[in-house]
Every structure is written in C-alpha cells, then in structure tokens.
Amino acid sequence: MTPEVKILNTGYSVSEETSDTYKMNMESLNIEGLCSQNKAMEQAIYKLIMTENNTYVIYDKSYGIKLKDLYGKSVSYVAAMIKLRLEEAFKQDSRIRRIENFAVSTGKSKIILEFSVVTIYGTIDIKQEI
C-alpha cells in the first residue's frame, strides 16, 4: 500500500529584494534611521566598493571587490583593471544595471574613481578614492 501525499502549497513566488536598510553616516559610522531606494542603493554601492572580496566571513564569497592583489602594481594597470572588477562585483546585485561615464584620476599614491551607476531606482553618481 502506497501512502497518499497531498501537497498544500505548490505555488512559489519570486520577489525582488527590497532596498530598505539602516542609514549609515559614512563619516561617523553611526546608524541614523532608515533609508530606501536611491539612498539605500548609494550606500550599498559604497559598501560594496569598500569591502575586499572573499575576506570577511560575514559576507558571501562573491560579495565585494577584489583589490588587494592590485597593490604595488603600476597605476595604469590598476586603472585598467578597476572597471572590470567593479562590473564583476556589481553583477551580484540585480538592482544594478550598468556603469557609465567611468573616469579614473591618479595621484601619488591614490586613485580616484568617478562613475555613474544605473540602477532600477535611477542613476547614482559615485566618487571614491582607493
């Protein structure tokens, strides 16, 4: 005799991750309420850029950007590789569509990135020193 099995819930739905999150003051590193959509995306982008890939156990191995191996390399090489690494890191977030207007300026020991990130909430201008 074979038991009869009844499955109650056979329908599944896939939902997009929300952008609601705690608002972090980037200077004081304090939490100051909540933010959503464009401001939350801006914060998520900066956080991703500032997190070294495959370093912290609290993050998935695919989260962040791989920069550590670029230290000590020529500035022209780093500038060329950075856009590719950013695009790879941003692929992990389905809310990010693409990078536009990518520009790199260099100083003695720093690289300044300026670019726009097109997201499902609009375009966000980013300026980050690495």
Give the pLDDT confidence score for residue 86 in this predicted structure.
Answer: 94
Concatenate the DSSP letters of all residues of 46-75 into one string.
Answer: HHHHTSBTT--TTS-TTSSB--GGGTTS-H
Query: What's the confidence (pLDDT) of residue 74?
Result: 84
pLDDT for the residue numbered 6: 64
pLDDT at 1: 62
Find, among 42, 74, 44, the residue nearest to 59 by Cα: 44
Instruction: Count Cβ atoms below 10 Å from residue 24 Cβ, excluding itself.
Output: 15
Q: Which residues of the chain have pLDDT under 50?
A: none
Q: What pTM did the predictor assign?
A: 0.77
| 3-state SS assignment for residue 11 | coil
